[in-house]
Structure 1
Amino acid sequence: MNLKINSRHLEVTPAMRAHVELGMSKVRKHFDHVIDATIFLMIDNAKEKDLRQTAELTIHLKGKDLYAEAHNADLYHAIDAAVHKLERQVVKHKEKVQDHHHEKHPE
């Protein structure tokens, strides 16, 4: 899996990169057909301090892109929330793909 981490108004530290990689490994446990992933970390000038840190995750699967976004006062919590949202989407996608392949066609 290709992992690309971009940022705006902050420097991605090795600890942040490790945290993102750990989160993406959780996603890959559910569905290992992830082609590539793009992570965008940023600090906004939002009036609400609780929503300043943003994590956007996009993964490209065969024939489908999944996207999750989360805001929080702490960037690590925003990453965790976005990973959790993405995990739910991956599980749902996996169930759809498996159900589609196991349908019995009438003869």
Structure 2
Amino acid sequence: MNLNLTGHHVEITPALREHVTLKLDRVIRHFDHITSTHVILSVDKLQQKAEVTLHVKGKDIYADSTDTDLYVAIDQLADKLDRQIVKHKEKASTRHRDKQLDVDNP
């Protein structure tokens, strides 16, 4: 997986990079067909925002989270992304199963 990490008005420290990588690895264990990932971390006065766009086969998955603490925003983002990936994976397997049933029953 190709990870692109960008910071707007925030310096991407090794600790931030490590935290984002650790959280995204949890998402990858559910779904390994992710081609690239773009994470944007930004700071606006009191709001810390984390955004991610995952590029998977046939779809782009987007999630964002805002909090006063950037690490909490990243954690919330990972949870949202995890739910979306599981939902996408279930839909894909259901479609595959439905196509297989159609082929078996002409």
TM-score normalised to the size of structure 2?
0.93
1:83 paired with 2:42, answer no
CA distance in 2, matches of 1:32, 1:18: 20
Matched with 1:24 is 24
Matched with 2:43 is 43
1:53 paired with 2:60, answer no
Contact 1:57–1:83 under 8 Å retained in 2: no
CA distance in 2, matches of 1:35, 1:75: 25
Matched with 1:6 is 6
CA distance in 2, matches of 1:53, 1:88: 22
5+ residue gaps in structure 1?
none
Q: Could you say what secondary structure the match of 1:11 adopts?
A: coil
CA distance in 1, matches of 2:54, 2:21: 13
Matched with 1:99 is 94
Which stretches of structure 1, 4 residues or more, deviate above 2 A after TM superposition?
none
5+ residue gaps in structure 2?
none
CA distance in 2, matches of 1:10, 1:17: 12
CA distance in 2, matches of 1:64, 1:2: 16
Give CA-to-partner distance per residue, 1:23-46, whole Å, 9 cap, x none: 11011010010000000000013x
TM-score normalised to the size of structure 1?
0.92
Q: Could you say what secondary structure the match of 2:79 adopts?
A: helix
1:64 paired with 2:63, answer no
How many pairs are equivalent? 102
Q: Could you say what secondary structure the match of 1:10 adopts?
A: coil
How many percent identity over aligned positions? 46
